[in-house]
Amino acid sequence: MSYQNIVHSINILVTSFTVPSNPKVQEEVRRMSSQKDKEMFSNPYFIDCYYTPKTKEQKEKELRAHQEYKEEISSLPLQQSLQQRPLRLYKGFWFHEIILPGILSLHHHLHPTPSDIFLATFPKSGTTWLKALAFAIGTRNPYALLSRHPHDCSPFIEGFFSGPRLPDLDVLPSPRQFATHIPYSVLPNSVRDSPCRIIYLCREPKDTLVSTYHYSKGMHRPEATPQPMPLPEAMELFCKGLSMYGPVWEHQLEYWQESQSQPDKVLFLKYEDMKADPEANVRRMAEFMGRPFSVEEEMNGMVGEIVRLCSFEKLSQLEVNKVGVRGKEFGLAIKNSSFFRNGKVGDWREHLTEEMAEKLDAITQARMYQSSLTYSND
């Protein structure tokens, strides 16, 4: 089906929506009919998920559920994030308000299959890299990345469910790969209890903060960008966990503990180790994904080719990653290029004062006390 046909069909689906009686649901239906929501369905890679025909009753039920999630969320503790957007505290973690309906919805509607792979990260820990690598390993076609942004390789699952329309994940080709920032304890039971696998990529907190800080400057509607927050202020919020999916320490520890008790379920990777020895880590990923490299692939240099094509140096120079924006479904215009800053280990040294670094390290040590998790650039 051509892209134009798909968009046309979606338009018909949206405009033929019957408006139900509940005023709040009506409001959502009107919102769905807006241009912005049509744009939301315009990602050509996953659009089929929104294309499954649904009855009027199904659509109304989905809208009502979405409205109920929003009502539930409106009673949760509220704070501003270092991204200067509303955050809600849910099960011990801070989530951007706009994403929480997706998380609540996943608890009811996500049914993983044993072959599903979840790529989990705390934001700004190397998600883009992990997505590119998992896609290249899964498809054995790293060259597709020359024209496909890594974020178009696997749906960001909570974002996918955050709108008033449920996607149909059964249309995605198997084995499916999903990306998520959801902490382990907040994942739906269906993910934790099923034999599906999780790859977690962890990054040293100081570098994570610096990356988060730079990225947050571009996380706004272009016409409504607030004054950038000074870094010391942003760090204070980060330390309190007031950053999307924060606090970072508990996020990392939960996945670390699961990887120790269930190594077949959770593979725990570190950004710094991946930088130091990408080939070894690509092999670990492939084994864990059930797709180890054959002798022939090893001889043909497949591992090195995947590493090369997924490297920061290569991906950041590709046109597809340099132009365009994403995040329209969240009212944002995030430049595709903003996922590629410099990809360095230890870049915090350029941005944090000694005092700031000591403070962050002290928190890290206190939180990691009695845990065997360590960071490679300590």
- Which sequence positions are flagged as catalytic? 181
- 190-249 residues in contact with ligand PAP (CB under 6 A) are 207, 211, 214
Nearer to ligand PAP, 69 or 321 (CB): 321
> Is there binding between residue 129 and ligand PAP (CB under 6 A)?
yes
> Is there binding between residue 80 and ligand PAP (CB under 6 A)?
no
| CA diameter of the chain | 64
Nearer to ligand PAP, 50 or 348 (CB): 348
Q: Which residues 6+ apart lie within 8 Å of 366 measured at CB?
A: none
Q: Which of 312, 325, 335, 376 forms a contact with ligand PAP (CB under 6 A)? A: 312
Q: Which of 300, 342, 353, 374 forms a contact with ligand PAP (CB under 6 A)? A: 342
Q: Which of 67, 115, 190, 311 forms a contact with ligand PAP (CB under 6 A)? A: 311
Q: Which of 167, 183, 247, 343 forms a contact with ligand PAP (CB under 6 A)? A: 343
Amino acid making up residue 161: F
Per DSSP bridges, beta strands 78-80 and 86-90 are antiparallel
Residues in the interface with ligand PAP (CB under 6 A) total: 21
> Is there binding between residue 305 and ligand PAP (CB under 6 A)?
no
Nearer to ligand PAP, 321 or 364 (CB): 321
> Is there binding between residue 281 and ligand PAP (CB under 6 A)?
no
Q: Which of 81, 84, 105, 121 forms a contact with ligand PAP (CB under 6 A)? A: 121
> Is there binding between residue 321 and ligand PAP (CB under 6 A)?
no
Nearer to ligand PAP, 172 or 244 (CB): 244
Nearer to ligand PAP, 121 or 259 (CB): 121
Token readout for 81 is: 């994030």
**Dihedral (CA of 208, 213, 215, 221) sign:** positive
Q: Which of 112, 126, 205, 246 forms a contact with ligand PAP (CB under 6 A)? A: 126
- The interface region with ligand PAP, picked from 36-44, 47-55, 74-82, 311-319 by CB under 6 A, is 311-319
**Dihedral (CA of 132, 206, 85, 228) sign:** negative
Q: Which of 315, 352, 356, 373 forms a contact with ligand PAP (CB under 6 A)? A: 315
> Is there binding between residue 124 and ligand PAP (CB under 6 A)?
yes
Q: How far is the CB of 60 from ligand PAP (least distance, A)?
A: 34
Distance of alpha carbon 164 from alpha carbon 186, whole angstroms = 21
Residues within the interface to ligand PAP (CB under 6 A)? 121, 123-129, 207, 211, 214, 310-312, 315, 339-343, 347
